[in-house]
Chains A and B, each alone.
Chain A
Amino acid sequence: MSGSIDPITLAVLAGRMEQIADEMDATLFRAAFNPIIAEAHDASHGLYHATTGDTLVQGKSGLPIFVGVMSFAVKAVIDKAAAAGDLAEGDTYIFNDAHLGGTHLSDMRLVRPYFWDGALFCYLASVGHWHDVGGAVPGNYNPSATDAFQEAFVLPPVKLIRSGEMQQDIIDILLRNTRLPQSAMGDLNGQLGALDLGQRRLDALLEEYGADTVKAALDALGNRAEALMRGELADLPDGRWEAVDHLDNDGITDAALPIKVALEISGDRMVLDFEGTAPVTAGPVNIALPTAVATAYVAIKHIFPDLPANAGVMRPVEVRVPEGSLLAAAFPAPVGGYTETILRMIDVIFAAAAQAAPDRVVANAYGTINALSIAGKRADGRPWVMFSFYGGGHGGSLESDGLNHGNAPISTATIPPMEILEAAYPVMFREWALRPDSAGAGAHRGGLGAVYEIELLEEKAEAFLFGERGRFSPQGVAGGGEGAMNVFAYEHEEGWDTPPLASKMRGIKLEKGQAVRLETPGGGGYGPAAERAREAVARDVAMGYLTPENATALYGPAWTETTR
């Protein structure tokens, strides 16, 4: 089963290599300047195959979406080096081109060939979300971008380090193209530190075990990952299940965009076919093909959480993305809002898989990251930008209700404390609370979404929002109900208003004392509402999670007959 390596050495090496990747993660989290990496862990590190770029080992604490996407970044470098014929020991490539490396332009990728005894052994890579990479909107969430150039500057794979020599020209170009050069330099240093550390640890490992043994272990771990995945698939029934959901709009035109999947299992193989998904859009809800494949992997790993972070998992899985769809957008189509699109892909994969194996799948989570930025100038003229993502409810599951106020399935990011935001920016949160009546009904209900109401304390500011789920609710599974939709509102002289495109808007003008209010979706329910224990409904009412009217509307009047 594990080839030419003895099973004990294999088990030991598996742990050692995972530790190298974890340690690379930890190195960058500690050193990074910007909170998106340092606190939200929007970064990832790993070891990748020398010729295919396949993920061999990846750190456990990085952002889940990168587990699948990094191999494409490495492959882009492999292709570039092959075309130029100049790969050398001591090189390190850098780029942010999302059409080659997946995700979006904010993610800066560093890829380093690792040589042992003069021969290419594997690649080391580091990716991290930089605070600002130019473009029209600070922080790069531009809801009305119609091409990549309006989102950020685009850097193709180039050598940052050439045979051990740092190319200062490249650094100069990078720092001239960001609004936050100090943060960018701090993050770049952190990423280089992580690669250096990975290299040292790999040196020690190869010294101790020899290249042949480590290579045999890497091959065996790939085979093991494949075997585990085939085992999981073989346990599921054969068949074909479909699901469809929608994005609200592309930020330009208010038209719903279907995301459709057909999930087919036969024996120990699976096909995910996205035929029927909307074509490429003018606005930035497109994703590049690598992102689509990586997203399929994230969804699979949530359904089978014990699978390793290894490309072998995807060998029995075929992802079919129709050409010309918004899931396979070509350069320079804008991809800045990729998070919203891949969250919807995960939702439809869950909805389809739940029909095959309802006990393995949880209901939809809140399904939008709500990138909200508020920017202005202080009395003394200094500019400020408050940029954050906001939480919502998770889906119910076979075991329990969904989590209230969780983070997005593609992320493990925590939210900055309110007091840190209030200390850093001229704002006050009037409310930071759970959102009653937002959970999808079910035998196990969804988790509650949240309410954030943010008042401006200085004279003037502008707000930008990139969100979703303002027109379509998070879905339940196994008969569960849907969560509440996203609601965004802003205050002006005559009262409150909502954006014409629901959850996307640029340039909302705020005066001192006015506020914006975000009510985020709850998670979908699991199982029929009729099967929820009446005591649980009564408790939800007593806790104020559910209003009495809504309780009766969703679950019937039986709860009123219970005593606490």
Chain B
Amino acid sequence: MSRMIGVDVGGTFTDVFVLDEASGSADVSKVPTTRPDQSAGFLGGIARQVDDLSTVGVVVHGTTAGTNALLERKGAKIGVITTRGLRDVLEMRRRDRPRTWGLRGEFDPVVPRDLRLEVSERTLADGTIRTPVDLDEVRAAAKTLLSEGCMAVAILFANAYANAENEAKAVAAVREIWPNPHVSASAEILPEIREFERFSTTALNGYLQPEVSGYLDRLDAALKGDGFGGEFLIVQSNGGVMGSDTACRLPVRTALSGPAAGVIAAGYIAQTAGFDNVITGDMGGTSFDVALIADGKSMLSPQTAIDFGLVVRAPMIEITTIGAGGGSIAWVDRGGLLNIGPESAGSTPGPVAYGLGNTRPTVTDANVVLGRIDPESPIGGKLERLDVDAAARAIDAHVGEKLGLSTEAAAEAILRVANSRMAGAIRLVSIERGFDPKRFAFMPFGGGGALHTGAMLKDVGIARAIIPRYPGVTSAMGCVIADMRQDFVQTINALTATLDIAGLGRGIQAHVDAGMALLDAAQSRFEARDIEVELDMAYVGQTHTVAVPLDVKVAEGRVEAPTRSDIEAAFDAAYTATFGRLLKDGARRVMNLRTAVIGKRPKFDLATLAPKGGSVEASIIGRRKVHFGDAWHETAIYDRLSLPVGAVIEGPAILVQPDTTVLIDPGLAGRVDTFGNTIIEPGAP
């Protein structure tokens, strides 16, 4: 039972990371993702590495099943039972539009209007019940939805965050007659003020439940059938894991599961290597995803829109995405300006060099033409070789001739503009939020990011980059590393001066009890258990709240409620840190209580992954001409994985491994650290 398996299912590849703690070995494999049922790839990928699943203690899964079901609108047929007068909240959103300019586009909610049924009931904002719920109407509505073929139902009542009595009665009545467990209630999923965000999150949960729980049940059964007797865990968007039974109940929490695991791994790798502050950059075919980790903690955002109008409110690792990936198309507009994206050739047909039908140049084509990517052994193993001439012709026709540049100059121009957009995304998550990028290391992962490292150092002023040993399977590794975590929220909406302190204490206690019960039910042993408590607070009259961390003591499972002056002092500190000054005589308000209960899972020793032996000379596998700036440089090519610990490679150089190409620009040097990471910094002058 000493083995742990992390499986990350992405759009193109399924990555499997197997750690054997007893022998201190790690193995990775990459297999194509199977569609529409991802379980075949999942199980196939594991089978490549492990014969006997009874030797495995835990399987952790980062999944895009939920994300894809939302993006492709492949969730279940579901119905809604809601307060009279409010059936259209899901469809009306917050009165926004898809794009600022153009006024085009429409919106189809995941529950069509004829399956959104109203019942007599009403609770007011102060929790008073104005109209008791009519349970006969509720039962009739549920039966109608069943007869229409609904697989799941969401119950969405106004002001249920303030008093869930009406909603809870309706939910109990529906659960009595609903033939499956797929009944989602708004106050159970998110007892927080703001009806559209709560209803949307709850409805999307119901929409995903049949699909995601079916998928996880299939995997669970297949794993057990192959002798697996350990624990099956799922990565949530907040970067923590949960049991698969919790995931079946709360599938909406997996909406950004895959990317979150990558950020968790990046944080751990960087911290182990001595860098508490790191900015990650995941470059895919169509986008560049950036996240920031400060003092070892990832930033969380309270909500996200998976697509226009599909809002999920649940804590998520904050990931900023711009449309500049390897497949992003370079073009010159009528005004003579060179642009990158937003149109992308993706991975199919992909860059011109793939020879699969695209004729417009992409960022990858520029890298190919400049010799930075080896045309003879493309990553992924799908293609035999890359067509350099076709890429050059496309760059000439669409960029070079329009701007009066040679092929090489046009390719360099494409990279400079793409790099400057990527650098802009890094500035956005760092400088704009008050972080100085000079204090951060940059960690590229995914297939293409490590080609652009030098440019990020130069454009943003970051001191160094750290390239993990296996950048292509970072997310799968993150699955093995992530802690167990549950987030809870409850709207309070009271002035600090008149806040019911004992009631707040009971609220925290309820969250802690529920969280601890989930940890107790898990098979994992935890090194430690942490409680994080935050209040969303603002001055009366102010719209945006500030997250105010509270230091709450828990002894023997009993919560010691914070005092009013603790809360006031914590608010003043958090507010000053955000806005620089306090408001004289301003009344403070507590909007929401947020609690996270975290079970720290034991971490594996990253030195397990370090290279053993090897020499620099033996790692040289060839030389070729690579273009930097305005000249071709004779450049050595190294087999990255066979470089020994302590090796220092001066740029220009290229390090290759099966799923990644690492570029070391002239003037920079790459050093292999004790964990097998490559640290890229300015070289000796």
Contact = CB atoms under 8 A, between A and B. Distances in A.
B124 to A, nearest CB: 6
A23 to B, nearest CB: 5
B618 interface: no
A122 interface: no
Interface stretch (A105-113, A316-324, A459-467, A538-546): A538-546
A423 B106 contact: no
Contact of A1 (B87, B100, B335): B335
A7 B103 contact: no
Contacts of A7: 336-338, 403, 405, 413
B542 interface: yes
B334 A231 contact: yes
A406 B97 contact: yes
A313 to B, nearest CB: 10
Nearest to B126: A423
B338 A400 contact: no
B385 interface: no
A22 to B, nearest CB: 8
B377 to A, nearest CB: 30
Per DSSP, are chain A's interface residues mostly helix, strand or loop, or mixed?
mixed
Contacts of B405: 7
B543 A35 contact: yes
Contacts of A394: 97, 103
Interface stretch (B189-197, B213-221, B632-640): B189-197
Given A64-B100, A403-B107, A428-B124, A227 B95 contact: no
A447 interface: yes
Given A227-B336, A412-B97, A544-B114, A34 B543 contact: yes
B337 A543 contact: no
B335 A227 contact: yes
Given A182-B583, A394-B97, A224 B125 contact: no
Contacts of B403: 7
A186 B583 contact: yes
Interface in B82-122: 85-89, 91-107, 112-114, 122
Interface string A392-419: 0011010111111111010011110111
Contacts of A431: 85-86
A79 interface: no
A301 B101 contact: yes
Given A407-B97, A412-B96, A433-B86, A23 B333 contact: no
Contacts of B685: none
B88 A434 contact: yes
Contacts of A433: 85-88, 92
Interface string B58-96: 000000000000000000000000000111110111111
B35 interface: no
B338 A8 contact: yes
A405 B93 contact: yes
A501 B493 CA distance: 40
Given A34-B543, A38-B543, A302-B103, A405 B91 contact: yes
A409 B337 contact: no
Nearest to B416: A8
A402 B124 CA distance: 33
Contacts of B586: 182
Contact of B193 (A26, A189, A401, A419): A419
Interface string B139-158: 00000000000000000001
A362 B104 contact: yes
A287 B103 CA distance: 24
Interface in A179-198: 180, 182-183, 186, 189
Contact of A305 (B102, B194, B196): B102
A407 B95 contact: yes
Contact of B96 (A301, A407, A422, A423): A407
A65 to B, nearest CB: 12
A284 B125 CA distance: 36
Nearest to A1: B336
Given A7-B413, A417-B197, A544-B113, A19 B424 contact: yes
B538 to A, nearest CB: 9
A186 B542 contact: yes
Residue with the highest number of chain B CB atoms closer than 10 Å, among A11, A226, A399:
A11
Contacts of B427: 19
B101 A302 contact: yes
B124 A457 contact: yes
B579 A402 contact: no
A420 interface: yes
Given A228-B335, A432-B85, A419 B420 contact: no
Given A12-B416, A224-B335, A432-B92, A409 B103 contact: yes
Contacts of B542: 33, 38, 186
Nearest to A204: B431
Contacts of B581: 189
B113 A2 contact: no
B52 interface: no
B42 interface: no
A328 interface: no
B338 A32 contact: no
B541 interface: yes
Contacts of A419: 125, 158-159, 161, 193-195
B105 A434 contact: no
A406 B95 contact: yes
A413 to B, nearest CB: 8
Residue with the highest number of chain A CB atoms closer than 10 Å, among B101, B334, B417, B493:
B101
B583 A305 contact: no
Nearest to B544: A38
A38 B158 CA distance: 25
Interface in B184-219: 193-197
A387 interface: no
Given A1-B335, A227-B334, A301-B101, A183 B107 contact: no
B543 A432 contact: no
Contacts of A35: 543
A19 B125 CA distance: 40
A146 interface: no
A224 B403 CA distance: 14
A418 B123 CA distance: 13
B583 A39 contact: no
A429 interface: yes
B96 A33 contact: no
A447 B125 contact: no
A31 interface: yes
A430 interface: yes
Given A11-B420, A16-B420, A391 B95 contact: yes
A15 interface: yes
B176 interface: no
A450 B95 CA distance: 10
B106 to A, nearest CB: 5
Contacts of A15: 417, 420-421, 424
Contacts of A10: 337
Interface string A18-34: 01000100100011111
Given A35-B543, A38-B542, A412-B96, 20 more contacts: A11-B338, A34-B541, A38-B544, A224-B333, A228-B335, A362-B103, A362-B104, A391-B95, A394-B103, A395-B103, A397-B104, A401-B106, A403-B103, A404-B91, A406-B95, A422-B125, A423-B193, A434-B88, A542-B114, A543-B112
Interface of B: 85-89, 91-107, 112-114, 122, 124-125, 130, 158-159, 161-162, 193-197, 333-339, 403, 405, 412-413, 416-417, 420-421, 424, 427-428, 432, 493, 539, 541-544, 578-579, 581, 583, 586
13 contacts: A10-B337, A15-B421, A23-B432, A31-B579, A33-B542, A38-B542, A183-B541, A186-B542, A224-B335, A228-B333, A362-B103, A420-B194, A434-B91
Interface of A: 1-2, 7-8, 10-12, 14-16, 19, 23, 26, 30-35, 38-39, 60, 64, 180, 182-183, 186, 189, 221, 223-228, 231, 301-302, 305, 362, 365, 390-391, 394-395, 397, 399-407, 409, 412-415, 417-420, 422-423, 428-434, 447, 450, 453, 457, 542-545
